Homo-oligomer: A and B are copies of this chain.
Amino acid sequence: MRRKEGALVPLEVSILEAGIDLRLRGLPAFHGFLIAKEVKQRQDARLLTAHGTLYKALDRLQRSGFLESEWEDPLVAADEGRPRRRFYRVTAVGEAALARGGIITTQPVPQHRPGLATP
């Protein structure tokens, strides 16, 4: 898709929003599976058919500095009898990027095109 430097694709916006929302609701960090459910609810639920998409987006956000992550203590996961989780937190940079308006791509902001209405 190739994006403009610093722009956020819709899925990334959703992740950051959901992450901040969860934090406000008392959960300081989230893991992929959890955010998948969150995003599925708030989104058209049509995104995220496969999970690979989500994990790639998480990885991108992290590499951009919008998220930071750490692995769950393996002993805790073992204790609860499930695979290990990776916990993500939205950084200040991420929050700023979101506030700056991340809704860039996919819906090309009409640039100087009088007439030619798309219904």
Contacts and interface: CB of A to CB of B under 8 A. Distances in A.
Interface of A: 71, 74-75, 77-78, 83-84
Nearest to A78: B74
Contacts of A74: 74-75, 77-78
Classify the interface of chain A: helix, strand, loop or mixed. Answer: helix
9 contacts: A71-B78, A74-B74, A74-B75, A74-B77, A74-B78, A75-B75, A78-B84, A83-B83, A83-B84
A65 to B, nearest CB: 23
A84 B83 CA distance: 7
A59 to B, nearest CB: 14
A78 B78 CA distance: 10
A87 to B, nearest CB: 14
A69 to B, nearest CB: 14
